[in-house]
Copies of this chain bind each other. A is one copy, B any other.
Amino acid sequence: MARVTYASAGVSIPTAERAKARIKRLARATFTPRVLTEIGSFGGLFALPNGVRDPVLVSSMDGVGTKLKLAFQTGVHNTVGRDLVNHCVNDILVQGALPLFFLDYIALGKMEPETVAGLVEGLSRGCKENGCVLIGGETAEMPGFYTPGEYDLAGCIVGLVERRAVLTGDKIRPGDILIGMRSAGLHTNGYALARKLLFDHAGYRVSRRLPELNGVTLAEALLAEHRSYLPLLKPWLERVRGLAHITGGGIPGNLPRILPAGCGAEIRTSAWEIPPLFRLLQQLGDVPTSDMRRTFNLGIGMIAVLAPADVAAFKRHVRRQGEDPVELGTIVRGARRVVYKP
């Protein structure tokens, strides 16, 4: 098994020296004084901030999933790493945590230095943007596991929150308002279905430009990177009543995870226009609307639950950051599920 420990020196890895140096440089670009590199070797060392009362570590493991097939088809390998970091950042953000560090896992049949460097480039960019250290990782060469030119990419994030600031949704009350933030595309979910519809069913190529998509290629539309909502929401973490990251399962699969007993959610379907890519996908396969809602984010990547009195200020805040927020609906009395209304 090939081993790469970014924080280490002198570890033999079967990578061309130049690519190896590049990978190390990309990881080091994310380092802060909290990384104890000078004493790091087998594992990554991160000095926790002192003075955090009742510190809670929030961690999450995730993979990119079948979005990787688009990277294989296009040869664009330097975006999926950022997808993964942003996905993980959002997953801990919804519990109120800010990222500390990230570790990646890259598995491939045979070491391809340029591909790995591309992956780490995306990881490094995503980490830097989120103030997160790319503290370690493993690049595993596994002959016979992966088709030549293919790989798998997963990652683990660790973040920190004070115990009193953990976001759980327990303050959510009927009458609260649901504000949706836009997604940049499919983010990292629904690619198995999307690829089936576009490539198997409709027979399109990744280079195809469809008028519905304003002239961008299918590859560009599908590789659009998963957004991080950290810069937008960080200043409001103490005031929102709950956050839901809309990933696999869509709004009905994710919003209920933060609803307390006795609370349901009512979403107005007229509140926002579903972006063209999702409409195209639905039309191609005559996909039932309920399947679309359970598979895709349909244009909304993150939902914030707010007390009615905070809505105007929250909207002003996100608009100043260039966000076009959507008032999706309200919290209602009911079972912990989502109901759609026109």
- CB of B42 within 8 A of CB of A257, answer yes
A30 on interface, CB distance cutoff 8 Å? no
CA distance A3 to B254 in the complex (A): 11
- CB of A36 within 8 A of CB of B12, answer no
Chain B residues with CB below 8 A from A159, complex form: 43
Closest Cβ of chain B to A110, distance in Å, is 11
A59 on interface, CB distance cutoff 8 Å? yes
Given contacts A1-B63, A54-B50, contact A43 B92 (CB under 8 A): yes
A163 on interface, CB distance cutoff 8 Å? yes
Chain B residues with CB below 8 A from A188, complex form: 1
CA distance A56 to B248 in the complex (A): 34
Most chain B beta carbons < 10 A, residue from A59, A66, A105: A59
CA distance A59 to B40 in the complex (A): 10
- CB of B66 within 8 A of CB of A143, answer yes
Chain B residues with CB below 8 A from A142, complex form: 63, 65-66, 68, 152
Copies of this protein in the complex: 2
CA distance A8 to B54 in the complex (A): 22
Chain B residues with CB below 8 A from A105, complex form: 61, 63, 105, 154, 156
A331 on interface, CB distance cutoff 8 Å? no
Most chain B beta carbons < 10 A, residue from A65, A145, A191: A145
Closest B residue, CB atoms, query A337:
B10
- CB of A46 within 8 A of CB of B59, answer yes
Q: Which of A15-23, A131-139, A315-323 lies at the interface with chain B?
A: A131-139
Chain B residues with CB below 8 A from A48, complex form: 48, 55-57
- Which of B2, B41, B166, B248 is within 8 Å of A3, CB to CB? B248
- CB of B103 within 8 A of CB of A66, answer no
Given contacts A1-B65, A59-B158, A163-B47, contact A168 B39 (CB under 8 A): yes
Which residues of A line the B interface, CB within 8 A? 1-3, 5, 8, 10-12, 36, 39-48, 50, 54-63, 65-66, 68-69, 91-92, 94-95, 97, 100-101, 103-105, 107, 135-138, 140, 142-146, 150, 152, 154, 156, 158-159, 163, 166, 168-170, 188-189, 191-192, 245, 247-249, 253, 256-258, 336
- A–B complex contacts, Cβ < 8 Å, 16 sampled: A1-B63, A1-B65, A41-B95, A42-B60, A42-B245, A43-B58, A43-B97, A45-B166, A47-B163, A48-B48, A50-B54, A62-B138, A65-B140, A65-B142, A107-B154, A152-B152
| Seed contacts A42-B60, A140-B154, A158-B158; 19 additional CB < 8 Å A-B pairs | A1-B65, A3-B247, A10-B257, A10-B336, A39-B170, A41-B168, A43-B60, A43-B91, A45-B57, A47-B163, A59-B156, A60-B136, A62-B138, A63-B105, A63-B138, A65-B140, A65-B142, A103-B156, A142-B152
The 9 A-B pairs with the shortest beta carbon distances in the complex, nearest first, are: A1-B65, A156-B156, A61-B103, A43-B60, A43-B58, A63-B140, A48-B55, A105-B154, A46-B57
